[in-house]
Amino acid sequence: MYVLGIETSCDDTCCAVLKDDRQILSSVVSSQVDFHRKYGGVVPEVASRKHLELLPWVTQEALSRAKIGLETMDLIAVTMGPGLMGSLLMGTCWAKSLALCFNVPIVGVNHLEGHLFAAYLEHQNLAPPFVALIASGGHTELIAVKEWGTYHLLGRTRDDAAGEAFDKIAKFLGLGYPGGPIIDLLSQEGNPSRFVFKAGFEDEDNFEFSFSGLKTAVIRAYQSLEIGPGDIKDLIASFQESVVRVLTKKTIFAAKKLNFKKIVVGGGVAANRALRKRLQEEAQKEGLEVYLPSKSFCTDNAAMVAACGYFHFVRNPQRYFSVKTLEPDPKLGIT
Ligand code: ATP
Ligand code: FE
């Protein structure tokens, strides 16, 4: 069975071709970052226009890399939410048009569930139960997964998402956009113990997160200490350390509390080198297994969407939509 995945929930225009559940024949991600960089963040209006422009090219590219035609597709899986309304509209309209023209069934995919399927794609032996941490540009959530498709929210951020904190601090410090990969890289040369920062709820035995106060503390430290250019790396390394610490601590706490032996991580922040290393080290000490997608599948891509769509289509064909009923939902939750 051949699945065409389409993902346009934010500012990446993505298309992938999957054979059955995990064989990735192609995965194309056209980043719009150069168009948004000058604004220091995603401009929703610009993102939707760019999706409109890029979707035909990205789809064609994914098909030609997979050496396959649209007429061979058995299923189209498209992100229906959560995300930016304009961006979701572009992807779902495009997917619906293709489904109609080529008479192919269409399935709507939850973007957050897609982030979990990034780990599924690459780990054949991954089976629930597990604790999932989704840490991305818009979400920081801990979820208990007893079986694929059934999710129980344990806790989430009360304000900013972890990725959002990376992006906002990088923007404030004039380091560029998106902030996560830049801070990840520059932090390698910084001293993470120079400043002591703490994210909200770090010392509480619960599954809640808060990153807004942390962001303010980093900005205050920068302003009040008259930090010179040479100190920036220490500042951001210390910030990153506090994010890595709280994400690791809460995720392991959740796994132990639920007595689950596995941890799955998804979302752009899962690409962070320090987080990947710390989680693996700490989990090993506790006898837990960590399943991480490779870095390119942590951030938005359509292979994870195709895998998720295929999974649901095969198990529950009721779930697929007609081109008339599939509508984007910017606030779609995973639980
Ligand atoms: P959501 O998935 O919540 O809808 P999104 O799709 O915009 O949001 P993702 O593409 O999953 O988010 O992830 C992008 C976020 O991940 C950005 O905030 C980015 O700064 C962050 N990020 C990417 N790479 C890294 C990294 N190496 N270290 C830390 N953060 C990173
Ligand atoms: Fe995402």
> Using CA positions, which residue lies closest to atom 7 of ligand 1?
137
Tell whether ligand 1 has an atom less than 6 A from the beta carbon of residue 8: no
Closest CA to 78 of 54, 53, 109, 57: 109
pLDDT of residue 115: 98
Other CB atoms within 10 A of residue 173 CB: 20
Q: What would the two tokens of residue 242 be? A: 């506090």
Q: Answer yes or no: are the C-beta atoms of 35 and 42 closer than 8 Å.
A: no
213 Cα–ligand 2 center, Å: 23
pLDDT of residue 198: 97
pLDDT of residue 230: 75
238 Cα–ligand 2 center, Å: 25
Q: How far apart are CA 329 and CA 332, in angstroms?
A: 5
Task: Read off the pLDDT of residues 178-189 as tens digits, 9 standing for 90 and up.
Answer: 999 999 999 999
Other CB atoms within 10 A of residue 302 CB: 35
Tell whether ligand 1 has an atom less than 6 A from the beta carbon of residue 113: no
pLDDT of residue 324: 82
Maximum pairwise Cα distance, the chain = 63
Q: Answer yes or no: are the C-beta atoms of 57 and 30 closer than 8 Å.
A: yes
pLDDT of residue 32: 81
> Which residues are within 5 Å of ligand 2 (an ion), measured at CB?
136, 300
Find how far residue 40's CA is from the centre of its chain.
Answer: 19
Q: How far apart are CA 305 and CA 79, in angstroms?
A: 7
Closest CA to 41 of 167, 185, 211: 167
User: ipTM of the assembly?
Assistant: 0.99
What is the pLDDT of the chain when averaged over all its residues? 95
pLDDT of residue 35: 80
Q: Tokens 């000490």 identify what position? A: 285
Q: Tokens 């422009």 identify what position? A: 53
CB burial of 98-134 (b: ≥16 within 10 Å; e: otherwise) equals bbeeeebbbbbbbbbbbbbbbbbbbbeebebebbbbb
Q: Tokens 């697929």 identify what position? A: 320
Ligand 1 atom closest to the CA of 266, numbered from 1: 11
Query: CA 176, 194, 206, 258 torsion: positive or negative?
Result: positive
Find how far residue 51's CA is from the centre of its chain.
Answer: 18
Tell whether ligand 1 has an atom less than 6 A from the beta carbon of residue 138: yes
**For a pocket test of ligand 1, which of 299, 301, 332 has the largest count of ligand atoms closer than 8 A to its C-beta?**
299
Task: Read off the pLDDT of residues 194-227 as tens digits, 9 standing for 90 and up.
Answer: 999 999 999 999 999 999 999 999 999 998 877 7
Find how far residue 149's CA is from the centre of its chain.
Answer: 17
| pLDDT mean by block of 10 residues, the chain; 335 residues | 97 96 96 81 90 97 97 97 98 97 95 98 95 98 97 98 97 93 97 96 97 96 78 96 98 98 98 98 98 98 97 83 88 92
Q: What would the two tokens of residue 159 be? A: 């304000």
